[in-house]
Structure 1
Amino acid sequence: MFGFLGIGIVFVMVFGGYIIAGGKIGIILASLPFEMIMIGGAALGAFVISNDSHSAKQTMKDIGKVFKGPAWKAQDYEDLLVLLFRLIRIARQNPLELEGHIETPGESDIFAEFPRILADHEAIDLICDTFRSASMNYDDPHQVEELLDKRMEAQQHHAEHSSHALQAIADGLPALGIVAAVLGVIKTMASIDQPPEVLGKMIGGALVGTFLGVFLAYGLVGPFSARVAAVVAEDQHFYSLIREVLVANLHKHPPNICVEVGRQNTPHDRRPSFNQLEEALRSGKKEAA
């Protein structure tokens, strides 16, 4: 919602101010298709050159984050804490039972209760791989924490590629606008024998290229890049919570203490209250029984 609102404000303020000041929108509209072909086409070509097909598709998909916001909501964090609590409790009471859940999470009745988490391969792999390592006696908390940090750093680096790709385009758009403007000036110079009113429109059309490049860079593409990066950082808290809880488990803390560590590391606006989490854990215990 805020993404659409921001775009609306940018367009209304820029073009509304121009029109109120007495500017003629017709000159911009007449030149816009041609300038957009040159600037937008060159930007698209540069984007294709600098990215492989997978990265390009992922970037197009991640643009939706500008409007959708973070993937993980408050209920997802609560569900994650309940899921981890139940898995830790099974690991302490019956390690053989846990093996069935972590080896085939798609067939696990526990994971099936949390479909949004189950659908996220990174979260599931992070949970199952860490429990599997512990079952193989690779359970030194400090070594596991270091391993998880490196894994999550690599994951975040990959997730941030879309924002970097968009920022690279934003950085290049003003220069591409100048290219379009220079071509417009070349066209104008070829018609230097025309009357001033004709030359004025041609020069104005050429300057639309410079305007469009700067406008797209700082009014749209740059903010899109910043928003995608912010959403990626917010979603990363979900995986950080998994790390905190599972490392606390390796330190042999009681299950309720492990999830309390996770609750304390949940972003404030998505953090369940202590009583809310206790109620969810009690409900989970009754269902498991």
Structure 2
Amino acid sequence: MIGIIGIAMIFVMVFGGYLAAGGKMGIILKAMPFELMMIGGAGVGAFMISNDLAGIKHTLKDLGKVFKGPKWKPDDYRDLLCLLFGLIRIARANPVEVEQHIEDPENSSVFGKYPRILADKEAVNLICDTMRSASMNYDDPHQVEEVLEKRIEANQHHALHSSHALQTLADGLPALGIVAAVLGIIKTMGSIDQPPEILGKMIGGALVGTFLGVFLAYGLVGPFAAKVKAVTEEDAHFHQLIREVLVANLHNHAAAICIEVGRQNTPSHIRPGFSELEEALKSVKQEAA
């Protein structure tokens, strides 16, 4: 919702200010379809050249983040901590029993309680792979932490592709606007014998290209890139929380301490409250009993 409000404010403030200052939309509306065809078409073409099909699909899909915001909500972080708590307790009480959960999470009664987490294949694989490694005596906390860090960084690098692609497009739009404006000036110079009032409208139409290039770059595409990056980076905290808890588990801290380590390393605006989490963990303990 806030994304839609922001877009509406941009258009209202820019064009409303122009009209309030005495500007007329006639020249802009007449020139805009042709300028948009040149600038937008060239921008889309450049975008297609610089990205493969998978990157294009990924970017188009990620545009929804501008309006939807982060995928993971505070309740999801609480559920993740409860899931990890349950798995750690089982692993310490009965290492054999936990194998059925990490080898087949789709049919696991523990994972099944949290369908949103189960639907995220990378989060599930991160949990299962790490716990499986621990059961195979690959349990050096520092080595595991390094492996998890590299894996999360690789995932993050891939996830940020959309933001980089949109920012590259935004950086090129002002130059494409200048190209459109120059073409308009060339057209005007071909009609230099026309009276001043005709030439004035033609020059004004040419300058619409420069305006659109800058407006689209800094008013829309650039902010879209920044929002996609911000949302992607915030969602990355979900996987980082998994790393913090499972590494703490390898240090043989008490299960409750492992969960608290994860909670404390979660950003404050999405961090579950201590009392809230304590109540949720009590439910996990009661169900296990």
Distance in 2 (alpha carbons) for counterparts of 1:33 and 1:71:
36
Q: CA RMSD in A?
A: 0.8
Secondary structure, in 3 states, of the residue corresponding to 1:109? coil
The AA in structure 2 aligned to 1:119 is A
1:205-243 CA-to-partner distances (Å, cap 9, x unmatched) read 100000000000001101111111111111111111100
1:111 corresponding residue in structure 2: 111
Q: Distance in 1 between matches of 2:166 and 2:116?
A: 28
What code does the residue aligned with 1:81 have? Answer: L
Range moving further from structure 2, 131-140 or 266-275: 266-275
Q: Tell me the equivalent position of 2:204.
A: 204
Q: Name the residue aligned to 2:277.
A: 277
Give the match for residue 43 of structure 2: 43
- Unaligned stretches of 5+ in structure 1? none
Match of 1:185 in 2: 185
Paired AA for residue 217 in structure 1: A
1:164 paired with 2:167, answer: no
> In 1, Cα distance between the equivalents of 2:112 and 2:193?
76
Q: Residue in 2 aligned with 1:77? A: 77
The residue that corresponds to 1:213 in the other structure is: 213
Report the counterpart of residue 287 of structure 1 in structure 2. 287
Q: 2:77, 2:225 → 1: CA distance?
A: 26
Report matched runs for 1:7-18 at 5 Å: 7-18=7-18
**Superposed CA offset, 1:138-173 (max 9, x none):** 000000000011111111111111000000000000
Partners in 2 of 1:251 and 1:74 — Cα distance?
Answer: 26
Identity among equivalent positions (%) equals: 73
Residue identity opposite 2:279 in structure 1? E
| Cα deviations by residue, 1:83-136 (Å, 9 ceiling, x for unpaired) | 000000011011111111111111111111101100111101110110011011
Aligned to 2:260: 260
Offset at 1:189? Answer: 1.2
What SS does the aligned partner of 2:23 have? coil
Q: Deviations over 1:166-204 (max 9, x none)?
A: 000000000000000011111111111222111111111
Task: Report Cα offsets for 1:4-41 as digits up to 9, x if no partner.
Answer: 11111111111111001111111111111110010000
CA distance in structure 2 between the partners assigned to 1:121 and 1:254 by the alignment: 27
Counterpart amino acid of 1:249?
N
1:249, distance to aligned residue in structure 2 (A): 0.3
Aligned residue-pair number: 289
The alpha carbon displacement at 1:257 in A equals 0.6
Amino acid corresponding to residue 179 of structure 1 in structure 2: V
> What TM-score comes out, normalization by structure 2 length?
0.99
Partners of 1:181 and 1:270 lie apart in 2 by: 47
> Could you report, residue by residue, the CA deviation over 1:233-286 in whole angstroms, capped at 9, with x for unpaired residues?
111111111000000000011111100111111111111111111110111122
State the shift of 1:288 in Å: 2.5
Measure the CA separation in 2 of the matches of 1:198 and 1:104. 74
Amino acid of the structure 1 residue aligned with 2:215: F
